[in-house]
Amino acid sequence: MADEPKEKQPSPVPAGDKPASSPAAIPPPKPAAAAPTGVTPPRPAVPVPPKPPVQLQTPLNNELVGRIRAKFGPVLVEAIEDRKQAILTVECGKLAEVAQYLRDEEKFDLLSDLTAVDWPKREKRLDVVLNLYSFAKNERLRVKARAADGEQVPSVAGVWPTANWLEREAFDMFGIVFTGHPNLTRILLPDEWQGYPLRKDYDIIEQDTSWVKDNLGIESGQ
Amino acid sequence: MQAVTQATLEFVKQYWAPLVCGLVIVGVLPLIVGYVVLVERKIMADMQARLGPMRVGPHGLLQPIADAVKLLIKEDIIPEDADKLVFWLAPVLSVAAALLAIAGLAIGPAFQIAKDVNIGILFVVGVSAMGIFGIVLGGWASNSHYSLIGALRSSAQLVSYETAAGMALVCGLLFAGSLNITSIVQAQYDQGVWFGLLAPVAFFTYLVASIAETNRAPFDLPEAESELVAGYMTEFSGFRWSLYFLAEYTNMIVVASVATTLFLGGWLRPFPRTTWLSFIDFFPPLLMVGIGVYCLMRTPKQPVRVQQTFMLAVAGLCFAVALVLVAPMLVPAVKPLHDGILGAFWFIFKVSLYIYFFMWLRFTLPRYRFDQLMRLGWHFLIPLSIINVLLIGIAMIVGTYFHLQGWSLLLTTSPASIIALIIALFILATEQKSEPQKSSAAPDSYA
Amino acid sequence: MAMDTTTDSRDKQQTLLGADELVLNMGPQHPSTHGVLRVKLKLDGERVIGSECMIGYLHRGVEKIAEHRTYQQFAPYVDRMDYVAAVSNGLGYCEAIEKLLMVEAPPRAKVIRTILTELQRIASHLLWLGTHALDIGALTPLFYCFREREEILKIFEKYCGARLTTHAFRIGGLQYDAYDTLEKDVERFCKAFEPRIKDYEDLLTQNRIWLGRTKGVGILTAADAIALGATGPVLRASGVKWDIRKAMPYAAYDQYKFEIPVGSTGDTYDRYMVRMEEMRQSRLICLQAIENIPTGPILAKVGKVLKPPPGEVYHAIEAPKGELGYYVISDGTVQPYRVRIRPPSFVNLQAFDKMARGHLVADVVAIIGTLDIVLGEVDR
């Protein structure tokens, strides 16, 4: 997909070590922030090229982002603001640690929602999206992690028990495997269901035909 | 052979009246129960700001018949894994016990099937308690978890509350000095005061225990609809289910009759020996006339001609009953029937009030939880009833010592009742205090 | 393979059940699971030692449907999620799309939206109260509650023609202006409603059996409630004073004075009290709102074809059941790329196991009732 520049931006510093240089360098050095001017918005990942040149997604650079960057360095892939809502993208493998930090240090104690989005044309096609809320700051934060199909995503159920069912739902609908989840089974769909319905390439007609054939022994009229 | 025929003939000759009465009871009681249900639904509707059954017959008055027909023609389902014989037997047992208990009751001085059974009240209580077998066996035979839990609850509940009820009955029997139903009522006539007034705590205990025994709300845990679907009746349908239903309502009538006999003066009018209050005898006909007049007033407001006719018919019926009730007082020829007719009215009237109270509670109160029900039974009602029996006994001894009779017995019995109540409440309070705090914390709560 | 691990863990659970424990399957057809919830209870006698909620019987794939509808076409679908609070669902969806479009509804629309949403909150809470009381064995409050709820539904019907799945709002404002006597109807309802709440409370609040059945049952501490993501009255009954109407005001809530009732222990009784008080507060909001409904347009300029600029937005409102969030991603076309609905009932239901353990079967129905779930929303 064309709009994947972000993947390459942080790669120069691959090993997620947290260098000592970070605290002093909080405001200026942001690998992602270097990109703002030339970068197209990361969101629209559809064949249709983003038409209006309105820059809705602006790089976010507040204290919170600074602190996270200082602590996790390149784990923070990207920080943007879309319609005044903060969105952080972190490296998939470090999701649980970032989550732990956000809950304990940044007081994002309520996991409002955990879901996923499928971008089939992207190299890492799945987004795990966490919507966090902090009672202390009265502030919402969205954390995303990109995962390839079949890639294991660390479960945040140990951080927020809410995630238990929400991750099961994400697994159910998208087939994202959360490692460390206490009971990762399908939740809304029957256990024997095939496929992951909320993926963009899920074909309901095919499902129907095969189900009818298997269960009723006749040709489906679909 | 000859001898057997002879004996049978002798038997029939001697007992033809009770036999006919028994058949009539078996035949008519389902209808009565049907109308009790209708009345219950109407009262419920009235309390809940709605109309209740209105479709079948005027004001839904034919609803019980429609219900009965529906239940009888319903498909009879026996679950595959059920114990067929027991499943078949259970409702029959339940209803048989309930109907048998009716035999011992006396509806007025003139009407009793099993006349002058010397253990009258014991017979009624004992036989009606047999109904629990129907419930337990039915719950077990259904092979369903809900039924099983319902049956378990029911047996535990009956065992606990039967004790309290029995103790309460003992209290009344202390005053009566006899188990024979006629003698009990006669004793109340001699004393000139209902035993319910002499032993209010015993009456209260019996009231609560009888609700629990008949599985009525707020103690309807065995069939708790919202928890156990229908408890022991879950797997029953159609005719079998209606037998359980019949048994439940018959049991209600039985416990109400027992309470009326023992505590509310049976077929006696209020203040039976106070002659200047004899005008109370005119209350029954006046009541019926009142209902008749009300029906007449409502007649023009009925929307359909059928309903108008029906209201007129009801009014006419009320007037006829009033006439029957008033006749023995005015016409010398039928004077001998006076006690029988008025007695039957008072008895039915009191039983109706008692059952109305059951219904009223049902629509007002939420349901107890099982442990709370048990605590109420074992920690409060049973101690209360035992202490009450002891103290009432002492009060009676003191009463005889001072030659107290009738109303003056209240001088000794009411302190006894009050002390019993205080002691029981004290026991309850201390037990609640000493009870360890239940920790419901589960170890792995998020798993 | 993912599926393999799934079946493995299921088998393990089943063998864990010893012979002395009774497994009771409640639902999906059961009088008090409020729809098609299925709960598997592990019982020791009548005590619950474990539970598992099985959901999905009402799953209709709303989120998938959204990806094949235009923004306007999808709006009626959200009414079918929490079907006892359809207006609230609609409000959340419309506001989320408005945020995505970066438009704002006109003030008049906002106020009317607030009135209807608060009426819906009362209606939803009334349904909860009636069924909850019925679960605990009190038959009568149900009918009283439905009597009042009927009045609210009549107002909805007068406003938009529908009673249950109203589809009352449009993206950008309202389709219909308030009918002439809306204020009067709302006022009449609010005036009549005050003594009615007292009626319910007379039947229940001081009732010893009610106290016994609700006090100390299904306790959820504040920490647990937050950890389990509970929101709405469930969270507030645990003592967390958080209401999105106050914390992040939407519609016209910032113009009105109201209190956020909170409980202390987080038991069933507290949740009961919180919801009762919420009904009173909603009534007050309605009364304030009808006093001064601004005049002006009711629909912002959004155009007939909605093509929000690419991007994403998360918008949450305080639905009667809790935080109802919409996470919408636009790719610049007329259809949303993804609509994620954060259902309050689904998340709140997760607290069930925590609340039910150690209690009796009778408490299970009380706890299901007090969570106030709607299966249409749990399963979507």
Please identify among residues 143-162 of chain C the ones whose CB lies closer than 8 Å to any CB of chain A: none
Residues of A in contact with B446 (CB under 8 A): 157, 161, 164, 182
Residue pLDDT, tens place only, C9-43: 444 444 444 446 778 888 787 777 777 888 888 88
Contacting A with CB below 8 Å, chain B residues are 446-447
Alpha-carbon separation of residue C83 from B252, C79, C345, C373 (angstroms): 41, 6, 12, 11
Question: Looking up tokens 């708790």, which residue turns up?
Answer: B224
**Statement: residue A117 has pLDDT above 70:** yes
The full DSSP string for A74-87 is GGEEEEEEETTEEE
Q: List helix spans (H) across C36-181.
A: 62-66, 71-79, 86-101, 107-135, 140-160
Residues of C in contact with A198 (CB under 8 A): 63-64, 338
**Which residue from C311, C329, C342 is facing A57, i.e. has the nearest CB?**
C311
Give, for B355, the enclosing helix (H) or strand (E). helix B338-364
Distance from the Cα of A40 to chain C's closest Cα (Å) equals 11
**Statement: residue A28 has pLDDT above 60:** no
Q: In this predicted structure, which of A176-185, B350-359, C14-23, C212-221 has the lowest mean pLDDT?
A: C14-23
Q: Where are the domains of chain B?
A: 1-73, 276-361
**Statement: residue B435 has pLDDT above 80:** no
At B397 the pLDDT is 84
Report, as an integer, the average pLDDT of B164-182: 85
**B390 token code pair:** 């002891």
Residue pLDDT, tens place only, B9-48: 888 887 777 778 778 878 888 888 888 889 888 888 888 8
Report CB contact under 8 Å: C362, B370: yes
Residue C184 has a CB neighbour count (10 Å cut-off) of 10
Residues of A in contact with B447 (CB under 8 A): 182-183
Q: What are phi and psi of B112, to 5 degrees?
A: -150, 135
Would you place residue B300 in the very low, low, confident or very high pLDDT band (cuts 50, 70, 90)? confident
Q: What are phi and psi of C337, to 5 degrees?
A: -75, -40
**Which residue from A85, A118, A162 is facing C347, i.e. has the nearest CB?**
A162
Distance from the Cα of B444 to chain A's closest Cα (Å) equals 11
Residue pLDDT, tens place only, B373-393: 888 888 888 888 888 888 888
Residue pLDDT, tens place only, C125-151: 999 999 998 888 888 888 999 989 999
| Length reported for chain A | 222
> What residue of B is the nearest CA neighbor of A161?
B446
Q: In this predicted structure, which of A67-81, B264-278, C6-20 has the lowest mean pLDDT?
A: C6-20
At C122 the pLDDT is 92
Report CB contact under 8 Å: A112, C325: yes
Q: Where are the domains of chain A?
A: 57-214
Q: Bridge-partner residues for C325, per DSSP?
A: C316, C342
**Which residue from C6, C323, C327 is facing A129, i.e. has the nearest CB?**
C327
> What residue of A is the nearest CA neighbor of B445?
A161
Distance from C-alpha of B93 to C-alpha of B109, rounded to nearest angstrom: 29
**Statement: residue A5 has pLDDT above 80:** no
Higher pLDDT, C185 or B407: C185
> 3-state DSSP call for residue B227?
helix
Residue pLDDT, tens place only, C303-340: 888 888 888 899 999 999 989 999 999 888 888 998 99
The mean pLDDT of chain A is: 74
Of C182, C173, C112, nearest in space to C152 by CA: C182
CB C242 within 8 A of CB C235: yes
CB B325 within 8 A of CB B348: no
Distance from C-alpha of B219 to C-alpha of B367, rounded to nearest angstrom: 6
Residue pLDDT, tens place only, A36-71: 444 444 454 445 554 555 677 788 778 888 888 888
CA-CA-CA-CA torsion for B265, B266, B267, B270, nearest 10 degrees?
20
Report, as an integer, the average pLDDT of C282-309: 86
At C117 the pLDDT is 92
Of A194, A189, A187, A191, nearest in space to A213 by CA: A194
Residues of B in contact with A167 (CB under 8 A): none
CATH node for A57-214 = 3.30.460.80
Report, as an integer, the average pLDDT of C203-224: 86
Higher pLDDT, B225 or B386: B386
CB A76 within 8 A of CB A99: no
The mean pLDDT of chain C is: 85
Q: How far apart are the first and last CA of chain B?
A: 77
What number of CA atoms fall less than 13 Å from residue B317's CA on the CB side?
A: 7
Give the amino acid at B416.
Answer: A
Of C105, C115, C107, nearest in space to C158 by CA: C115
Counting residues of chain B whose pLDDT is more than 70, the rounded percentage is 95
At C126 the pLDDT is 92
**Statement: residue C186 has pLDDT above 70:** yes
**Which residue from C30, C134, C209 is facing B365, i.e. has the nearest CB?**
C209
Would you place residue C3 in the very low, low, confident or very high pLDDT band (cuts 50, 70, 90)? very low
Q: Which of B213-227, B259-273, C5-19 has the highest mean pLDDT?
A: B259-273
Distance from C-alpha of A135 to C-alpha of A48, rounded to nearest angstrom: 39
**Which residue from C25, C140, C212 is facing B369, i.e. has the nearest CB?**
C212
At C326 the pLDDT is 92
Would you place residue C274 in the very low, low, confident or very high pLDDT band (cuts 50, 70, 90)? very high
Of C367, C366, C351, C358, nearest in space to C209 by CA: C366
Higher pLDDT, C15 or C72: C72
What number of CA atoms fall less than 13 Å from residue C172's CA on the CB side?
A: 14
At C83 the pLDDT is 87
Which residues have C-beta within 8 Å of that of residue B157, sequence separation ≥ 6?
B212, B213, B215, B219, B221, B222, B373, B374, B377
pTM metric for this prediction: 0.81
At C9 the pLDDT is 42
Report CB contact under 8 Å: C207, B365: yes
Higher pLDDT, B222 or C221: C221
Report CB contact under 8 Å: B229, C209: no
Whether omega for the bond prior to residue C28 falls within 30 degrees of 0, making it cis, is yes
Report, as an integer, the average pLDDT of B118-136: 85
Give the amino acid at B45.
Answer: A
Q: In this predicted structure, which of B6-15, B256-265, C122-131 has the lowest mean pLDDT?
A: B6-15
Distance from the Cα of A74 to chain C's closest Cα (Å) equals 24
**C38 token code pair:** 């299925």
**B167 token code pair:** 């103790």
Of B347, B219, B249, B207, nearest in space to B29 by CA: B249
Distance from the Cα of B149 to chain A's closest Cα (Å) equals 29
Is any Cβ of chain B less than 8 angstroms from the Cβ of C209? Answer: yes
Distance from C-alpha of C151 to C-alpha of C185, rounded to nearest angstrom: 9
Q: Give me the numbers of helices (H) and strands (E) for chain C, helices first please.
A: 16, 8
Is any Cβ of chain C less than 8 angstroms from the Cβ of B370? Answer: yes
Report CB contact under 8 Å: C229, A160: yes
Distance from the Cα of A158 to chain C's closest Cα (Å) equals 10
